[in-house]
Structure 1
Amino acid sequence: MANLAIPTLTAPSVSNYDTAAWWNANVYQLLTYGLNPPIFVGTQTIAQSVATSTWSAITLDTEQQDTYGGHSTTTNSSRYTAQVAGWYTVCGVVTWTQNSTGRRGARLHVNGSSVAGSAQLFAPASGTTFTGVMTAVRAVQLGVGDYVEVAGTQSSGSALSTGVAAGGDLASALYVAWAHT
C-alpha cells in the first residue's frame, strides 16, 4: 500500500454531512489511515562485531514489517526513517554472543543521539548463553526524515559479536509503530 498521509478532517457544516467528499475526508480516509499506520519490525540475522566500551548502532538486515518503506537493508541498515511525522512507540533489543566478562547494554538513538531513559545495562548471566538486553519502551517524536536506531555497548575488554540464534527467536531487533500526531 502506498504511504498514506494523515487525514485532515474538514470542519463540520450542516450542508456537508451527506456528501461523498465529506465522507471520504472524514470517515474513509481516517479509517484507512488508522488501519494502516507506519509500522516497522526489523531484525539482525548476520552477527556484528562491536568494539568494547562504545555505543554502536545495530544493523538490521531483515524486515518482518515495513509498511511505509522507512528502512533499507542495504543503505544505513541500522535506521528506520520516519515517512510520516508524529509520535512513535519504539523499543529494541540487542543480543550478545556468549561471554561472561563485563556488561552488555542497549539503548535507543534518534538522529544519532541517545534517548533519555531508554538504556539498560546488565552483566551476563553466564558465559555459556546469549545475553539479550532490551531497551525501555519509549514514545519519541519524529519529523519526516528523522531516524531511530537501537544501539548496543559491551565492556568485555575486546570486540564482541552480537548473537544470532538459529531460528531467529533470539536476535537483535527494532520495533517502531506510529502512535499519533
Structure 2
Amino acid sequence: MELVTTRLKLEPFNDTHYEGLRVMDSNPNVLRYITKGIVNTPEETWESIRRVQARWDKYGFSWWAIKEKSSNVIVGAACLQHLANVDGAPLEIGWRLVPKHNGKGFATEAAKAIIDFAASRVRANYLVAVAHPENMPSQRVMQRLDMTFKAIEQHYDVPCVVYELNIRSPN
C-alpha cells in the first residue's frame, strides 16, 4: 500500500526500485551501522526485493521505497516489520536514507506515515525501533517520534538501543 506525505511517496518495494535501492545497498556509509559497512551485491539487492515482496504478500506490510514527490527520486527506504524478522516479535519501524538526503527530515516524515499506517491498518498499539548504539541520527529520529528509550538488547546478532512507542487507538 502506497503512503503519501507532504513531500514523500512511500511505495512497497517493486522491480522499478532496483536502481534506487542499489544506490543504498552499494554504499558502505549507508550500511555502516547495519552490516558494518559490508555492501550488498546486485544479486542480494534483487533477493531483498523478492523477500520484501513475499512479506508484503504474507503480512500486508514490509519495506517501502521512499521517493521525494518533487523529483520522483528514491531518497531512502523505510519499514514496518517484525523485529529481526521473527514472527510474533514486536513490530519494528526502521529507515535508511541516501546520504545526500540526510538531515532533511525525510526519515521522520516517512516514519510518522508508517506509524499512522501501523495504527490504522495493522491495528498495532506498540512499536519499537532499534539502532546501533553509535547511530545518533537514528536515535534523534526516534526521539522526534516521541519514542522512549527502553534498553540495549541483542537484535540482528548485535547490541542495539531499543526505543518503544505506545500508540493510542485512532478514534
Question: What TM-score bracket applies, with the shorter chain setting the length?
Answer: under 0.3
* Higher helix proportion: 2
* Higher strand proportion: 1
Q: Which has the higher contact order (CA 8 A, sep 6+)?
A: 1
TM-score normalised by length of structure 1? 0.26
TM-score normalised by length of structure 2? 0.27
Give the structure with higher Rg (CA): 1
